[in-house]
Every structure is written in C-alpha cells, then in structure tokens.
Amino acid sequence: MTRPALCSRRHLLHSGSFGLGTLAVAHLLQQDGLLAAPAKPMLDAPKRFDTLPKPPHFPGRARAMISLFMMGGPSQMDLFDPKPLLQKHDGGVFPGELKFDNAAEASAKVFGSPWKFAPQGSCGMELSELLPHLGGVADEITLIRSMQSGVSNHLQGLNAINTGRSTSGRPALGSWLTYGLGNETRDLPAYMVLGHPAGLPTFQQVHYSNGWLPSIYQGTLVRAAEPRILNLDPDPRLAGSPQMRQIALLRSLNERHLAEQPGDNDLAARIASYELAARMQVAAKEALDISAEPEYIRRMYGIDTKETQDYGTRCLIARRLVERGVRFVQVLNNSQTWDQHANLVTALPKLCKAVDQPSAALVADLRQRGLLDTTVVHWGGEMGRLPVRQNDKGREAWGRDHNTFGFSQWVAGGGFKAGYVHGATDEWSHKAVENVVHHYDWHATLLHCFGLDHTQLAFSRGGVKATLTDGQDARVVKELLA
C-alpha cells in the first residue's frame, strides 16, 4: 500500500495542529522571503502580481478547493431534495405560479420524482437512489437545499455562482482565491481546470476567466486525454542545463522589456508563466500520472469501469493536484449536460452513474489522507429545476425547466459541517424558504473558510474597489461551519 507523499508541503501544513501549523509555516516562508505581502487594494504605484503563498486575513481551515461543477442545473428534487408531495400529486396541476424561462413545451403538471430517497449515514441525510455512493459519505458532507441565485438563464446563473454577480466579464472564484492566497506549490499552476473529453462546458472560458484580475490568476486548462498537458518533454538535446540556460536568458530579456513598462501585468504574467512551465515539465507529468496509484484506489474511483473511467480519473488527478499544493481545481462537464428540459428519466441516471462514485471516492480518499479538513470539495451547478413536467409527451420525454429560486449543492471539508443538511425549499422543492443561501452568501462563507474576509479581498480598478461579492448583501453563513 502506497502512503501519500509525506514530504509534500501541503502535508506538512496539515501535520501541525490547525491554525498553528498555518501560521508557523507562513512565518517560515516569510523568513525565506517566499511569502509576498498580503493582497490589498492597489491604489498608487503599479504592483507586480504573483502566486506566491500569502497569509489569509485570519486563520482559516480551508487551504484548497476542488469544484466539481455540473453545468446545466442538476435536478434537486430527483437527487437531493425529496418531496413526497410531488409523488402524491404526480400528474396533477401545480397549484402555484411558475416561471418558465426559455421554455418551449411548458406544462403545469406536477412531476413526482421517479426515484426513491432513503436516509443515509448516521446523520440520516435523505439522498436519492441515483447517488448510492454519495450516501456512503453522507456523514462527511453538508447538503445545502436552499440555494438561490434568482437569475434564471445559464450564463447569468453561471456568472452569479462562479463570479459573484450575474454580469459578464468578472473574475472566477478560483481567480479570487489564487489572487488572495497564491499557490502552495511553485511547480504547478495555482488554478487548474480539468476539461471533459467531449469539450468545454457552455460559455467556455467564463468558467475559469480571470476577468479584470491580472492574467496570472486565470485557470490553466488541462486536456481531457493523454497527453493531458502537451509539450512537457524537452528536446533531448536541450534537456537539462541547455534548457535552463535558455530560460535564464529568456528571463533576462523579458525582465528588461518589463522594466521599460513597470506595472504591465501581462508581461509580468508571461515571465511567471515561463518559470512555471520550466518547473512543470517534471512536476506536471508526475502529478498527472496516475499509473503509480494502487489498484484499490483506482477501483475506489471507478477507473476500472467504463462509465466512471473518465470522471474517476479526473477526480483522482484533482486529488493529486491538491495534494501537491494546487490551490483551486475545477472539474468540468461538457456542454450543459445537466440541463434536462427533456428525457430526464433516461438521462439523469446516466449522468449520475458517471459522477457519483468518483465524487464520493474523492471525499473518502481526501478523508483517509487527512486532507479533507483543509480541502473544500464542492458539487453543484448554476441552478436547479422546476417541480413540473416539461415536454409533456410521455414519460420518456419528460423534462424539467430551469429554477433558480431553490436548488441544492453539497460541500465537504475545509471547515464545513459534516453530516448536515442546511435550509429547505417549500413543499414542492420550488422556492428556497428556510435558511436561504444566496450565491453571494455562499461566496462569503467559502472565503471565510479560507480565512478571507469577502469585504477585504479586493482589487482596485482605477481606484474603485471591487470584490467577489460586490455590493450585495452577503453574509457568512456561520450555521454551515463546523
């Protein structure tokens, strides 16, 4: 049995008791001159941005995050939010008003979930039979059943949940975290994005764009198939010192260019990206190579099974990246595959089959490695779905339209409670009514887990202070925290 790499910096940080370890290492790094000044609003002189580790505003539990993002809007009442009333009135007329968004084929007929729910774990969290493996880690997760963003198209919803507001052009969550805290490894990008073999999700770079933050904070897309990162091998003639000589010369040339224009974030980011690329040649190959993972780990993630092979591999890679100090990893689906306007009955089981076992394995594996306490795992999309049928042309054809007034997501680790269900929707799973968590509350809480104050983590745009939660009445939802 292989033990996790004991020497990784991430592990070192965790080996100390919480808080003390963080501060002690930050202190050591500072002594080494490795730690840059804390991020604060840039008001006057141009500043050089970097991804060196930075201390949080206050001690936080979380140090890394893996977001399993499910573009399209997973159906909460079929997965996370059981509503017996829907079954009872299945096919009857929905009594309330509904907002059908880009809906062709709307109907008002109640659509009871075709799937059964049962209590899981010692906490008794009710989960759908479509997610049997998640049931196995129910005692590790916090399930939020009262998410709300209030903007019901995919792009605006994605913007809200991923960039803080429904408007376009803003930095993604991962960019904010890496801007605020830097990276714990110098050998891999701070923010890595694992794409799906069938392509990027709808809206593509919106998922990992740095917006108006300096481009050093944008996500680096990793290909879905081998070679996952191209060009990691130097030409054999140049490998070793000849290439180091090239990089040293390149640095010297580029630094002189930058000196002519101090404060040019793009040039500075380009210089940093060469340094990173040089180190990635060895580190990325090792991090992305799962061949050394023992058989039981591969089986745990479902890599031996066709349906789960891709997602399992990517979840395992995500764990390996976090283990090596990467701050933020996003695992993406293609298109907006969770957007079941039709054919929900057949499509949802397939989608769940592909992600359930790997997602649960990720949580369990992080736990057994002692990394879950400091790693936030997030599973969710940009919206949820309506309690009524769409495309009412027979059971096979039924789907559900968009719903942003109530949807579910789960999180694990990093300071979130374990085995806990938060909030509730109305009896139809239509609108969040109890302990509503707006997307900005979620962001404020998440930053808090990382030791960041959402009002303080700011970037100055021509003297105007901009934050992730910008101008919204966000609150840290303390009830979610352990």
Partner 1 sequence: MRLHVACIIIAGFCLTADASEPVSYDRDVRPILKAACTHCHGEEDELAGGVDLRLRRFMDRPGDSGEPVVVAGQPDESLLMSMIVSGEMPEDGKPLDPAQIDLIRAWIAAGAVADAPEPESLPPGAYVSESERRHWAFQPIVDPPVPPAGPADRIRTPIDAFLWARLHEKGLTFAPDADRRTLIRRVTIDLTGLPPTPEEVEQFVADTAADAYEKVVERLLASPAYGERWARHWLDAVGYADSNGHAEADSPRPHAWRYRDYVIESFTEDKPWNEFLVEQLAGDELAGVVHGETADAVQDPDRLENIVATGFLRMAPDGTGDPLPDPLLGRNEVIAEQLKVVSSALLGLTVGCAQCHDHRLDPISQIDYYRLRAVFEPAFDVAQWRSPAQRLCSLATSEEEATAAEIEKQAVAIEADARAMEKKFLDEIFEKEIVKLPEEDRDAFRTARATPKAKHTPEQAALVKKYPSALALQSLDLYDKEAHAKVVARRSEAKKLRESKPAERFVMPLTEVRGRVPETKVFHRGDHGQPRAAVTPGELSVVAGPAIEPFVPASVPSGSTGRRLAYARWLTGGGHPLVARVLVNRFWMHHFGRGIVATPGDFGLAGERPSHPELLDWLASRFMAGGWSLKTLHRLIVASTAYRQSATNPAAVAADPDNALLARWGRRRLDAESLRDSVLFAAGRLNPKAGGPPVPTGRDPAGRVAEGRAELNANGDVIKFIPPGDDAFRRSIYTTFRRSLPATLLDTFDAPTMLPNCEQRNCSTVAPQSLFMLNDAFVLDSATALASRLQKEQPGNLRGQIELAWLILTARRPDEAELAEGLVHVAEQAESLRQFHVAHPPAKGAAAADPQTEAVASYCQVLLSCTRFLYVD
Closer of 92 and 471 to partner 1 (Cβ): 471
Measured CA to CA in angstroms, residue 210 lies from 381, 444, 464 at distances of 20, 19, 17
- Three-state secondary structure call for residue 256: helix
Closer of 120 and 183 to partner 1 (Cβ): 183
Least separation, in Å, of the C-beta of 460 and partner 1? 8
User: Cα–Cα distance between 268 and 99 in angstroms, integer?
Assistant: 47
At which residue do the structure tokens 């100390």 appear? Answer: 16
Closer of 27 and 223 to partner 1 (Cβ): 223
**Helix, strand, coil proportions of the chain in percent (round to 5)?**
35, 15, 45
Closer of 394 and 462 to partner 1 (Cβ): 462
Closer of 151 and 321 to partner 1 (Cβ): 151
Least separation, in Å, of the C-beta of 47 and partner 1? 10
Q: At a CB cut-off of 8 Å and minimum separation 6, what does 201 contact?
A: 69, 71, 207, 332, 333, 334, 335, 336
| Helices 439-449 and 154-163, axial angle in degrees (round to 10) | 30
Chain-centroid distance of CA 18 in Å reads 23
Report whether 158 contacts 382 (CB < 8 A).
yes
According to DSSP, the β-strands at 220-222 and 191-194 are parallel
Closer of 208 and 450 to partner 1 (Cβ): 208
Closer of 300 and 468 to partner 1 (Cβ): 468
User: Cα–Cα distance between 74 and 380 in angstroms, integer?
Assistant: 7
Least separation, in Å, of the C-beta of 232 and partner 1? 6
- Three-state secondary structure call for residue 241: helix
User: Cα–Cα distance between 327 and 363 in angstroms, integer?
Assistant: 17
Closer of 50 and 264 to partner 1 (Cβ): 264
Closer of 106 and 452 to partner 1 (Cβ): 106
Intra-chain end-to-end CA distance of the chain, in Å: 32
Least separation, in Å, of the C-beta of 138 and partner 1? 31
User: Cα–Cα distance between 155 and 167 in angstroms, integer?
Assistant: 9
Tokens describing residue 162:
């991923």
DSSP state of 234: P
Least separation, in Å, of the C-beta of 344 and partner 1? 15
Least separation, in Å, of the C-beta of 476 and partner 1? 19
Closer of 271 and 361 to partner 1 (Cβ): 271
Least separation, in Å, of the C-beta of 465 and partner 1? 13
Cis peptide upstream of residue 227 (ω within 30 degrees of 0): yes
User: Cα–Cα distance between 35 and 443 in angstroms, integer?
Assistant: 25
Q: Give the E-state strand segments of 247-404 in sequence order.
A: 328-331, 375-380, 384-385, 388-390, 402-403
Least separation, in Å, of the C-beta of 343 and partner 1? 9
Tokens describing residue 10:
């991430």
Least separation, in Å, of the C-beta of 26 and partner 1? 25
Least separation, in Å, of the C-beta of 81 and partner 1? 19
User: Cα–Cα distance between 472 and 145 in angstroms, integer?
Assistant: 21
User: Cα–Cα distance between 362 and 312 in angstroms, integer?
Assistant: 9
Closer of 32 and 260 to partner 1 (Cβ): 260
Least separation, in Å, of the C-beta of 42 and partner 1? 8
